[in-house]
Chain A
């Protein structure tokens, strides 16, 4: 069944059953990916998937259901599920957005040039990089991951109040994990790049960076366990911000799950810190003209020179706080309900070069990578104790890699302890709860333990 027929039939039958408000959210995702291993195609995937989610107001409560199969059975399943679920709900009901008076940007984030890159071109590029990786250094033993993938996503939102919206986006990414070996020591690191501009990818440069990342970890040494001044390198900083971004959601605040509750207009970070959510970032994976409720998106400063100036809101949290939705009522897919989350969120960079951040350190640690974020960090309390890789710095110079470390601290204390912000803004690999970035950050100190 095509989408238009499905929608019309769903709305007609829903209204007959007594639904007053009905909304259909639609996503179509196309993906392509290739993995290679020693010059041969080791994995090849292509897919097209549709999914729809329905919200309906029944007995004064908003019920949800979704399906990936567009047929008559599913229409009956969706409406019946909502009829069963809605009467049991006890929270504040959600409301549909009518779109009345709303002003939408009309940017198309879809690159047709990217769509026209053929599978053969992508595979040839991947093979070229892999070849250059093996040629770069004799210590390269193999890649444990070499892949190229692209993804396009189309979204539509329709309701029986007359709202009709469309958005689309696409992007391509390359991922390499290079294993290097010297004597008995084995190291590997992950290289990740995301872009809309395939032509601008430079195989030579990617191979070099991917191998250098792993090579730089050979020759590890342990240092005394103590509190060190720390440089959080851009992607490590971004992954930390991503882990705790939920604290800025008004939903978390209202449920008592954020330490930022009651801190609006207070200084929550050092004055070097400005945190911006920008849904119009040309290369952003979460760029778009409306959120999952159909509310127009806008740029939003959360933290301005250290001061907390706003939370993220959707329609429901905004109503509760007596403010307007900030256009952050997102759902991570049609399978989820409306939550509150960032679009493209990042710490605003300065002009300070990365090298200058550690250039005047007498002694310190550079953290290039944090692991265990889903388990070693408590997004509510802000406490974290994470595995980390990185370098030891002495008299402003990188001495060499450290053994596996753990670093422990509290995110809200880290915000206050940021002494300097670098220029090198990078985004952490895709996450469903936003596209989140940071430049390298210099911190007063963290407790570091070496294995």
Chain B
């Protein structure tokens, strides 16, 4: 992508003002974005993102510059300008130059590169999904299907001797259904994704995913407004894991922990969750949406146990925050693109399966809420306060799933909610999502088996 000598020159130029670490990240990414709506292919966009990010550390100072001027002159100038921002005396450094290229075997094999597949073949899948949604029910007003795929080539090199390249391939299909009864409109959504090529899209069971999206929209059209108050809440598997992604995952990232901005900071070895909870971040799962071979700092992906049987075991750590924490990287440095300096982020994060069956969990709930499909949410990492939308929810009465409800939002505090997990199911599943934070929007999986929280505040339109 860039010549090795050129990269070495940039790494050296970046260290001219006493920096003790420098890094070059080169990205060349090809993306396709197809949008099918109203029975027509409305949009088909191809693009090429290309640029270089240069990062320098000096103690606890960090400087980042990025550009898509890829000439040696332009890059050396950008490196020197960035270096000038560093202040104070020279610090001790161990520079390993010249660099030696490292190679590895991918853990995520690809069969059909997205750019090698004819657009017509992609369009055929979009049409299938659109028809399944549209034919599901007369109340369906819109089928909006998007196909996004990308090939991201990266080169990561640093003054500690890393020089490594990778090609990451991801494909995702986002299926949205809109149902209407004339005045009211409700939407349903399903968005499966993988670290795979077109084989993933062509192999998708549309009869499941497209029908589910349509079914959610139609079901919610006939749902009652959600009640408000405190309830036991059963959260289903797969994307249901988003609640712990927000409520706990972000608080376990070094970005928050290093500066003591997390309720989980300084609590290694302490009981922070119900002893039914084991929480894991694993970037190595073959071909999963959030998987990586190496992170965006060139470190190998790994499986990090964060919480084991309720005891806090570790954090997700990147190189820079690792300095403040005096801890090693856990292969968690990620970024959206060269336009972002990496920081600690999640990959595939999930709650490990427990022993209850989903049937037992529901049968054991007298009066509560069953959140079948979760929407998105957000968290304030300093306080742990979170909020979530529920895309499909039901009341649970006397151990049985009752009427559907809509407009339910869950709010609460992550550190408290994770203490209140009182049943964990045996049906672990993962769901694909995009996670936005200071290093941009990145693909992550969230996951869990069905589980129950003894009490969460539910906000709906029917005040109790």
B440 at the interface (CB under 8 A from A): no
The distance in angstroms between the C-alpha atoms of A447 and B459, with both chains bound, is 8
On chain A, the residues within 8 Å of B206 by CB distance are: none
Question: Do residues A255 and B408 form an inter-chain contact, with CB atoms below 8 A?
Answer: no
The distance in angstroms between the C-alpha atoms of A81 and B187, with both chains bound, is 32
On chain A, the residues within 8 Å of B261 by CB distance are: 142, 144, 179
What per-residue 1/0 map shows which CB atoms of A427-451 lie under 8 Å from chain B?
0000000000000000000011111
Stretch from A5-13, A63-71, A96-104 contacting the other chain: A63-71
Question: Do residues B64 and A44 form an inter-chain contact, with CB atoms below 8 A?
Answer: yes
Given A69-B68, A88-B44: A188 touches B61 (CB 8 Å cut-off): no
The distance in angstroms between the C-alpha atoms of A179 and B457, with both chains bound, is 24
Given A69-B68, A256-B141, A380-B187: A375 touches B389 (CB 8 Å cut-off): yes
On chain A, the residues within 8 Å of B100 by CB distance are: none
The distance in angstroms between the C-alpha atoms of A438 and B256, with both chains bound, is 32
B184 at the interface (CB under 8 A from A): yes
Question: Do residues A408 and B461 form an inter-chain contact, with CB atoms below 8 A?
Answer: yes
Question: Do residues A406 and B228 form an inter-chain contact, with CB atoms below 8 A?
Answer: yes
Instruction: Name B62's contact: one of A42, A51, A66 (CB within 8 Å).
Output: A42
On chain A, the residues within 8 Å of B387 by CB distance are: 371-372, 375-376, 386-387, 406
What per-residue 1/0 map shows which CB atoms of B43-79 lie under 8 Å from chain A?
1111111110000000011111111111000000010
B3 at the interface (CB under 8 A from A): no
B82 at the interface (CB under 8 A from A): yes
Q: Which one of A49, A66, A256 has the greatest number of beta carbons of chain B within 10 Å?
A: A49
Question: Do residues A42 and B50 form an inter-chain contact, with CB atoms below 8 A?
Answer: no
On chain A, the residues within 8 Å of B89 by CB distance are: none
On chain B, the residues within 8 Å of A69 by CB distance are: 28, 48, 50, 68, 70
Question: Do residues A48 and B69 form an inter-chain contact, with CB atoms below 8 A?
Answer: yes
* Closest A residue by C-beta to B122: A88
On chain A, the residues within 8 Å of B60 by CB distance are: 40, 42
Question: Do residues B385 and A385 form an inter-chain contact, with CB atoms below 8 A?
Answer: no
Question: Do residues A372 and B378 form an inter-chain contact, with CB atoms below 8 A?
Answer: yes
Kindly identify, within residues 406 to 464 of chain B, every residue whose CB is under 8 Å from any CB belonging to chain A: 406-409, 411-413, 457-464
* Closest A residue by C-beta to B184: A381
A225 at the interface (CB under 8 A from B): yes
B38 at the interface (CB under 8 A from A): yes
Question: Do residues B339 and A385 form an inter-chain contact, with CB atoms below 8 A?
Answer: no
Question: Do residues A257 and B407 form an inter-chain contact, with CB atoms below 8 A?
Answer: no
B42 at the interface (CB under 8 A from A): yes
The distance in angstroms between the C-alpha atoms of A64 and B33, with both chains bound, is 11
Size range of the chain A interface in the assembly: 35 or more
Question: Do residues A45 and B341 form an inter-chain contact, with CB atoms below 8 A?
Answer: yes
The distance in angstroms between the C-alpha atoms of A10 and B103, with both chains bound, is 38
A74 at the interface (CB under 8 A from B): yes
What per-residue 1/0 map shows which CB atoms of A336-353 lie under 8 Å from chain B?
110000000000000000
Instruction: Name A335's contact: one of B47, B229, B389 (CB within 8 Å).
Output: B47
Kindly identify, within residues 49 to 92 of chain A, every residue whose CB is under 8 Å from any CB belonging to chain B: 49-51, 63-69, 74, 77, 81, 84-85, 88-91
A119 at the interface (CB under 8 A from B): yes
* Closest B residue by C-beta to A189: B380
Q: How far is the CB of A101 from chain B (nearest CB, A)?
A: 30
Question: Do residues B81 and A142 form an inter-chain contact, with CB atoms below 8 A?
Answer: no
Given A88-B123, A186-B382, A337-B45: A372 touches B388 (CB 8 Å cut-off): yes
A193 at the interface (CB under 8 A from B): no
Please give the number of chain B residues whose Cβ is less than 8 angstroms from any Cβ of chain A in the complex: 81
B95 at the interface (CB under 8 A from A): no
A378 at the interface (CB under 8 A from B): yes
Kindly identify, within residues 341 to 370 of chain B, every residue whose CB is under 8 Å from any CB belonging to chain A: 341
On chain B, the residues within 8 Å of A90 by CB distance are: 39-42
On chain B, the residues within 8 Å of A125 by CB distance are: none
On chain B, the residues within 8 Å of A40 by CB distance are: 60-61
Question: Do residues B259 and A372 form an inter-chain contact, with CB atoms below 8 A?
Answer: no
On chain A, the residues within 8 Å of B380 by CB distance are: 188, 371
Question: Do residues B62 and A43 form an inter-chain contact, with CB atoms below 8 A?
Answer: yes
Question: Do residues A385 and B341 form an inter-chain contact, with CB atoms below 8 A?
Answer: no
B91 at the interface (CB under 8 A from A): no
A201 at the interface (CB under 8 A from B): no
A400 at the interface (CB under 8 A from B): no
Question: Do residues B41 and A375 form an inter-chain contact, with CB atoms below 8 A?
Answer: no
A116 at the interface (CB under 8 A from B): no
Question: Do residues A91 and B45 form an inter-chain contact, with CB atoms below 8 A?
Answer: no
The distance in angstroms between the C-alpha atoms of A267 and B374, with both chains bound, is 35
B2 at the interface (CB under 8 A from A): no
Question: Do residues A188 and B382 form an inter-chain contact, with CB atoms below 8 A?
Answer: yes
The distance in angstroms between the C-alpha atoms of A85 and B34, with both chains bound, is 9
Q: How far is the CB of A435 from chain B (nearest CB, A)?
A: 20
B16 at the interface (CB under 8 A from A): no
A407 at the interface (CB under 8 A from B): yes
A187 at the interface (CB under 8 A from B): yes
* Closest A residue by C-beta to B260: A142
B234 at the interface (CB under 8 A from A): no
On chain B, the residues within 8 Å of A187 by CB distance are: 383
Question: Do residues A81 and B46 form an inter-chain contact, with CB atoms below 8 A?
Answer: yes
B135 at the interface (CB under 8 A from A): no
A420 at the interface (CB under 8 A from B): no
A163 at the interface (CB under 8 A from B): no
A4 at the interface (CB under 8 A from B): no
The distance in angstroms between the C-alpha atoms of A257 and B184, with both chains bound, is 11
Question: Do residues B48 and A372 form an inter-chain contact, with CB atoms below 8 A?
Answer: no
On chain A, the residues within 8 Å of B412 by CB distance are: 404, 451
Given A381-B184, A381-B186: A406 touches B411 (CB 8 Å cut-off): yes
The distance in angstroms between the C-alpha atoms of A41 and B377, with both chains bound, is 31
* Closest B residue by C-beta to A370: B387
Question: Do residues B50 and A67 form an inter-chain contact, with CB atoms below 8 A?
Answer: yes
Instruction: Name B142's contact: one of A257, A376, A385 (CB within 8 Å).
Output: A257
The distance in angstroms between the C-alpha atoms of A239 and B119, with both chains bound, is 39
What per-residue 1/0 map shows which CB atoms of B272-293 lie under 8 Å from chain A?
0000000000000000000000
A154 at the interface (CB under 8 A from B): no
Question: Do residues A259 and B68 form an inter-chain contact, with CB atoms below 8 A?
Answer: no
Question: Do residues B37 and A255 form an inter-chain contact, with CB atoms below 8 A?
Answer: yes
Q: How far is the CB of A139 from chain B (nearest CB, A)?
A: 14
Q: How far is the CB of B317 from chain A (nearest CB, A)?
A: 16
Question: Do residues A255 and B142 form an inter-chain contact, with CB atoms below 8 A?
Answer: yes
B120 at the interface (CB under 8 A from A): yes
* Closest B residue by C-beta to A86: B44
A47 at the interface (CB under 8 A from B): yes
Question: Do residues B341 and A447 form an inter-chain contact, with CB atoms below 8 A?
Answer: no
On chain A, the residues within 8 Å of B341 by CB distance are: 43, 45
Given A68-B68, A88-B41, A374-B378: A119 touches B85 (CB 8 Å cut-off): yes
Question: Do residues A225 and B228 form an inter-chain contact, with CB atoms below 8 A?
Answer: yes
Offer 25 A-B interface pairs, CB within 8 angstroms, sorted by A: A41-B62, A41-B87, A45-B341, A46-B82, A46-B85, A50-B68, A67-B47, A68-B50, A88-B119, A89-B40, A142-B260, A144-B256, A259-B185, A335-B47, A372-B377, A372-B378, A372-B388, A372-B409, A374-B378, A375-B376, A375-B388, A387-B409, A406-B411, A408-B461, A447-B228
Given contacts A47-B339, A48-B78, A67-B48, 18 further A-B contacts (CB under 8 A): A44-B64, A46-B81, A64-B44, A64-B46, A91-B40, A142-B259, A226-B463, A255-B37, A374-B378, A376-B387, A380-B187, A385-B407, A386-B459, A405-B411, A408-B226, A447-B460, A447-B461, A449-B229
Q: List residues of chain A with CB under 8 Å of any chain B CB.
A: 37, 40-51, 63-69, 74, 77, 81, 84-85, 88-91, 119, 142, 144, 177, 179, 186-188, 225-227, 255-257, 259, 335-337, 371-372, 374-376, 378, 380-381, 383-387, 404-409, 447-451
3 shortest A-B CB distances, which residue pairs?
A406-B459, A375-B376, A387-B387
